[in-house]
Copies of this chain bind each other. A is one copy, B any other.
Amino acid sequence: MREVAVIGIGVTKFGELWDKSYRELAIEAGLLAMKDAKISSEDIDAMYLGNMSAGRLVEQEHVGALAADYAGLVTRNVPSTRIEAADASGGLAFRHGYLAVASGMHDIVVVGGAEKMTDANDMQVVETLASSSDVEWEAFFGGTLPALFAMMARRHMHEYGTTKAQLASVAVKNHKHGMKNPNAQFRNEIKVDAVVKATMVADPLGLFDCSPLSDGAAAVILCPLDKAKKYTDKPVKVIGSGQASDMLALHDRKSLTSISSTVAAAKRAFEQAKKKPSDIDVAELHDSYTIAEIISIEDLGFSKPGEAAKGVENGEFSLGGRLPINTSGGLKARGHPLGATGVAQVVEIVHQLRGTAGERQVKDAKVGLTHNLGGTGGTAVVHIFERA
């Protein structure tokens, strides 16, 4: 397998983008990434696109071909593949773009993630999110996604004494980071007290424990490392890639306070990268709900089980702390356009390793990690990156 580098990144603003259609968002991100890599669509050999919900929310399937078409790639019949794994679609598309280059199959690959969530009504969105669970056993009985994460949170509180204020500190941290990200959906400070007292969604998770509904897109360009210097003087290497599955339904799992797909995907990525958790300088984690970030910090080995919540509260994972997590604002503040999220995480880590993260730059960051979950963790994808 060849070594692979990221040579271009692009991301749209995330938010309620009433004036932009699904296809416009996808193309905007792709053009930004091509401009960043100083390539044209003529240079691209293949496309991978992460998307969860276009079929339900904008009534368009076959979005791989659609994006290739609108990007002008079809004049050369460039192959384009849509990958879906709930809100891990973007991370999984990135993995397949990486494999396409690593295997020698393609040289220059664009990986996109795009989602348009605000053209549908709220009930359609709730049902779509719930379709990432085991629908026959969970959603059908009212187990919406926040309800499922609420059960995980409740159990985490029971086992480790995690508090609502500690959960809230995840949202507070990520909003603070998001204030420094011009593309973030929310750029306002929030306080622990406001999070704790917010409208209840699914006990113990309130409104501010949940990531928002978002429109947005992100794209990256990959090529073999030995050709990367042709395009950029700051290539970022992909040094580890791990993907894993877990039972979809919570009631089938051994634990509610650990997600085994994250543990397995991380093990695979760390082994390939020959790194350990303490080598990571900056990470983007899947904080679809505040409890998801807590559990993920523990599953990735950044804290011992039961200690992540305290760590977040103490600032260990804030900018300036021992391991800044979700410097982009995370899903909570940057926004969470499902299939775009995993690719946007890569964009943020590449910024950090290039040293172009502006106000939210982690000083001298050399090694970064991304972690993307599908639903409650039926799929997990972990990637590790290094400054080349």
Known contacts A55-B53, A74-B245, A81-B85; is-contact A61 B131 (Cβ 8 Å): yes
Distance (whole angstroms) from the CB of A52 to the closest CB of chain B? 6
| Interface residues as binary, A346-388 with B (CB distance below 8 Å gives 1, 0 otherwise) | 0000000000000000000000000000110011000000000
A21 to B135, CA, bound (A): 12
Q: Is the CB of A84 within 8 A of B69?
A: no
Q: Is the CB of B85 within 8 A of A62?
A: yes
Q: Which chain B residue has the least Cβ–Cβ distance from A378?
A: B65
Q: Is the CB of B245 within 8 A of A80?
A: yes
Segment of A12-20, A96-104, A160-168, A316-324 in the binding face: A96-104
Q: Which chain B residue has the least Cβ–Cβ distance from A66?
A: B248
Q: Is the CB of A131 within 8 A of B374?
A: no
Q: Which chain B residue has the least Cβ–Cβ distance from A127?
A: B59
Residues of chain B within 8 A of A77, CB atoms compared: 244-246, 260-261, 263-265
Decide if A182 is an interface residue (CB 8 Å cutoff).
Answer: no
A245 to B71, CA, bound (A): 12
Q: Which chain B residue has the least Cβ–Cβ distance from A60?
A: B135
Decide if A243 is an interface residue (CB 8 Å cutoff).
Answer: yes
Q: Is the CB of B61 within 8 A of A132?
A: yes
Decide if A123 is an interface residue (CB 8 Å cutoff).
Answer: no
Q: Is the CB of A83 within 8 A of B82?
A: yes
Q: Which chain B residue has the least Cβ–Cβ distance from A131?
A: B61
Within 8 A of B (CB), among A36-58: 52-53, 55-56, 58
* A residues whose Cβ falls under 8 Å from a Cβ of B: 1, 21, 23, 52-53, 55-56, 58-62, 64-66, 68-69, 73-74, 77-86, 92, 96, 99-100, 102-105, 127-128, 131-136, 139, 243-249, 252, 260-261, 263-265, 374-375, 378-379
Give 19 pairs: A residue, B residue, CB < 8 Å, sorted on A.
A55-B56, A55-B84, A59-B127, A60-B135, A62-B86, A64-B245, A65-B245, A65-B246, A65-B374, A65-B378, A66-B378, A69-B246, A69-B247, A79-B243, A81-B92, A81-B96, A81-B243, A84-B84, A102-B103
- Counting from the closest, the 10 A-B pairs by CB-CB distance are A65-B378, A103-B103, A77-B264, A77-B244, A79-B243, A62-B86, A61-B131, A68-B245, A62-B132, A60-B135
Q: 20 more A-B contacts (CB under 8 A) besides A59-B127, A82-B83?
A: A21-B136, A52-B61, A53-B61, A55-B56, A55-B128, A59-B135, A59-B139, A60-B135, A64-B84, A65-B86, A65-B245, A65-B246, A74-B247, A74-B260, A77-B260, A79-B245, A81-B243, A83-B83, A84-B84, A103-B105
